[in-house]
Amino acid sequence: RQPVKYGALIALGDPVVLSRSPELFFEIDAEGMIETHPMKGTAPRGATKAEDKRLKAFLLNDEKNQAENRMIVDLLRNDISLISEVGTLEVPELFRIESYPTVHQMVSRVRAKLLPDLTIRQIFAALFPCGSITGAPKIRAMEILHDLEGTPRDVYCGAIGWIAPSGTMRFSVAIRTISLFSSGEAVYNIGGGVVFDSTAEEEYQECLLKARYATGTPPIST
C-alpha cells in the first residue's frame, strides 16, 4: 500500500525483514558526495483532491513541523561536518513535501563532499543513528530513550542498505519496517518525535496514521 524509494526485503533467517522506508539515511556517489534526506513532519492524505491539497499546504506552512524539520537538518549538518571537507556542506532544499498513498511527509536535503579515504566504520561512527529518529541533543536524547524504553528496537530505526565495490553506497532509515517471524507473528514499530509543544493525543494519532502503510486503516485501539 506504500510504494517507496528505499524498500528492502532481507530473507537471511528468522525473522524476515520487510522494509517500506521512505527515508534516505545517506547516499554516497562516485564523486564522494554524501547526501541525506532528513524526514520530519507528517500529515494525512485527504479523502478528496481539495482536502488533500489543503492538508499538503498545511504541512508545508506549519511552523511546528518546519521547526522540527529544521532542528534535524541542523543536527545532520553537524554530524556530516565531522567527515566532510570544509566549505562543501550545503542544504540545497528545505521543506519539500513528498506524498505517499497514506501520508504526506516533509523532507529536506543536506549535501557535502566527504573527506578522502574514510572507512565505512568512520562514516557510521559520525552519522549513526540517524538524527531524525533520535532528536537533539543527540547523545542526551539517546540516553533518555535508553532509560525509558524497556526493550531493544531491533531493526526498527536502524539502517538498511548496500555498499558497492566502487565505494558508492546507500542506506535507508529502517522505519515503516516489519519483522516477519516463522511462528506467524509480525512485528512493526511506529513512533514520532516529541517536542515542547507536542500533545500525547496528537502524537498517538500520528502513530496510527503512520501505521497505515501496513494496515491500510488505523489499527484497532486497545
Can you give the pLDDT at residue 27?
A: 98
Can you give the pLDDT at residue 197?
A: 83
**Is 149 among the residues known to form the active site?**
no
Q: Which of 23, 27, 68, 206 is catalytic?
A: 23
Question: What distances in angstroms separate CA 120 from CA 49, 151, 164, 186, one per listed residue?
Answer: 44, 28, 12, 31
Give Rg (Cα) of the chain: 18
Please, are residues 46 and 174 in contact by the beta-carbon 8 Å criterion? no
**Is 23 among the residues known to form the active site?**
yes
Alpha-carbon distance of 188 to 91, in angstroms, equals 32
Q: Report residue 135's pLDDT band, with 50, 70 and 90 as the boundaries.
A: confident
Please, are residues 114 and 83 in contact by the beta-carbon 8 Å criterion? yes
Alpha-carbon distance of 118 to 116, in angstroms, equals 6
Q: Which of 27, 40, 68, 206 is catalytic?
A: 40
Q: 113: Cβ–Cβ under 8 A, 6 or more apart, which residues?
A: 31, 32, 33, 34, 84, 85, 88
Domains of the chain: 6-215 (3.60.120.10)
Please, are residues 50 and 66 in contact by the beta-carbon 8 Å criterion? no
Calculate mean pLDDT across residues 4-13.
Answer: 92
Question: Quick check: bond before 129 cis, omega within 30?
Answer: yes
Calculate mean pLDDT across residues 124-138.
Answer: 93
Phi-psi region of 175 (alpha: psi -120 to 50; beta: other; left: phi over 0): beta
pTM more than 0.85:
yes
pLDDT tens track for 138-197: 999 999 999 999 888 899 999 999 999 999 999 999 999 999 999 999 998 998 888 888
Among residues of the chain, what percentage have pLDDT more than 70?
Answer: 96
